[in-house]
Amino acid sequence: MPKRPFLALALVAAACSPYDPVTFDGYAVDARLKAGADKRDMAITVRREEGTSFATLKEAARYEATRHCIDRYGASDTDWEIDVQTGDWAFTEAEGRLTFRGRCTG
């Protein structure tokens, strides 16, 4: 039996990946969500590409969080970890990726 049907299946599965980048401000931003032990808790990691603003990266994280919260809890409300020094969303940065943390509240 030829192995090509498996290759076709792999290509279809790759095309339907939940990690397809979404376009914000003209940039395709790769954002990935990982739920915590309590599924309401989440960490969203976005890849910083040249030219993308912090606001664009936040919008990509917000989009993924909204999808997750609506899919699981029927509401889009998210409480984000806040940096006490800036008053903005807290994040960590490593290897060109920013990670934001939040919790579904709906």
* Res 39 pLDDT > 80: yes
Share of the chain above pLDDT 90, in %: 66
Q: What is the pTM of this model?
A: 0.77
**Band (14; pLDDT cuts 50, 70, 90):** very low
Residue 64, token pair as written in the block: 């993924």
Considering the chain, what is the average pLDDT of its residues? 83
Most distant pair of Cα atoms in the chain: their distance? 63
Q: What is the pLDDT of residues 65-83, one digit of tens each?
A: 999 999 999 999 999 999 9
HEC string for the chain: CCCHHHHHHHHHHHHCCCCCCEEECCEEECEEEEECCCCCEEEEEEECCCCCCHHHHHHHHHHHHHHHHHHHHCCCCEEECECCCCCCECEEEECCEEEEEEEECC
